[in-house]
Amino acid sequence: MSLTRTILRSPAVAALTSPHGVDRYLELVNPMWAAHEVRARVVRTHRETHDVTTLTLQPTSTWPGFAAGQHVQVGVEVDGTRHTRCFSISSSDLARRMRGDRTFTITVRAHDDGVVSKHLARHAGVGTVLHLSRAEGEFTLPPLLPRRLLFLSAGSGITPVMSMLRSLVDLRYEGRLTFVHHARTPEETIFADELDEIAQLPNVDVTVLHTRLGDKRLNELQLTALAPAYADTLTYACGPAGFVETVRELYAGRDTLRVEYFKTSTLPPDDEAATGTVRFARSGQTAANTGATLLEQAEALGLRPEHGCRMGICRGCTTRKTEGTVRHAVTGAESSAPDEDIQICVSRPVGGCAVDL
């Protein structure tokens, strides 16, 4: 098999299959054959809640694996068009090493305005083939684990945290592990049964708070009661922007916090910044600056830039800005440096701007 792969990746085969590449021809024979690209077949589906589904994926041999907490860009054909979005991996990263299991899982909530999430959660069945990126992200556990760990999550933000938790259980981590999750109701709690099982382990404390049943949202008093030494404990937090910002405030001045935004909330556009002209240099397109993100403005002109999550997480839309100032749509930070790489899905031009698209 390694000899076959070496031949398929050779310059001679690349020249013979140009311009489409060898993977296009292999895909016609068997969608799970690939020399370079990563694909995966859905081998199992499991409904977690009324709008959340876990897909178990069997990847091609080109999949290099992942670290717990990372995410992957998933491409799927919907109505004849390939759409790509970013999803966190929810399974243990030790399954392959410990059980010889090469499959992994993603857990998807069907958002009403999400073409990909609705398709995957409601319509992807066993046998569906997906296109994947390699695993990405730095929201991962350290090589040397501390004696205490704290996980904080809300809503769908539980998925990368669950990957870490499952990995630690597989590893038989002996340190103290505290996990606090916020869900709206018991029926909307993802992985509820498994969390109950994990809570039986002697070194694990699991608390699930249901905000629609009267449990308060995360605050200092609550967190101190559940994890008295939280400020000095390595902590991983993932969830909607409001939740993560609350956690950031609780850890102000500390270096023990690692965060991942699962769903960002953007600042409102600034009409005063919507001046000048936006130039997409490579395509030769120009337009008046509308104040929208550069990705949205490019799409309005009919351009199709590469992108993934549209939330500033996966970096699939990273593009070179050659001139002008941009403002981050989530943090509000501005940058005027020339020839810098920016994420166009969360970058709004402030006045005139030029990007290499």
* Among 123, 113, 35, CA closest to 76: 123
- Is-contact 348 329, C-beta < 8 A? yes
- Is-contact 84 74, C-beta < 8 A? yes
Q: Which amino acid belongs to residue 21?
A: G
pLDDT digit string (tens) for the chain, length 357 residues: 565 556 555 665 455 555 555 555 555 555 655 656 889 999 999 999 999 999 999 999 889 999 999 999 898 888 877 788 889 999 999 987 777 789 999 999 998 878 889 999 999 999 999 999 899 999 999 999 999 999 999 999 999 999 999 999 999 999 999 999 999 999 999 999 999 999 999 999 999 999 989 888 899 999 999 999 999 999 999 998 889 999 999 999 999 999 998 755 556 677 777 889 999 999 999 999 998 899 989 988 988 888 767 777 677 788 999 999 999 887 788 889 888 999 998 899 999 999 999
* Among 336, 334, 328, CA closest to 353: 336
Class of domain 148-261: alpha beta
- How far is the C-alpha of 186 from the C-alpha of 211, rounded, in Å? 10
DSSP alpha helices (H): ranges in 287-329?
294-300
Provide the 3-class DSSP secondary structure of residue 239: strand
- Radius of gyration over every alpha carbon of the chain, rounded to an integer in angstroms: 22
- How far is the C-alpha of 199 from the C-alpha of 180, rounded, in Å? 11
- Is-contact 245 267, C-beta < 8 A? no
May I ask the CATH architecture of the domain 37-132? Beta Barrel (2.40)
Residues constituting the chain: 357
Q: Within its chain, how far is the Cα of 344 from the centroid?
A: 17
| CATH 2.40.30.10-classified regions of the chain | 37-132
Take residue 70 and report the two structure tokens written for it.
């990372």
- Is-contact 182 239, C-beta < 8 A? yes
Domain topology for 277-355 = Ubiquitin-like (UB roll) (3.10.20)
- How far is the C-alpha of 344 from the C-alpha of 318, rounded, in Å? 6
| CATH 3.10.20.30-classified regions of the chain | 277-355
Q: What is the pTM of this model?
A: 0.76
Residue 6's pLDDT is: 63
User: Phi then psi for 150, rounded to 5 degrees?
Assistant: -130, 130
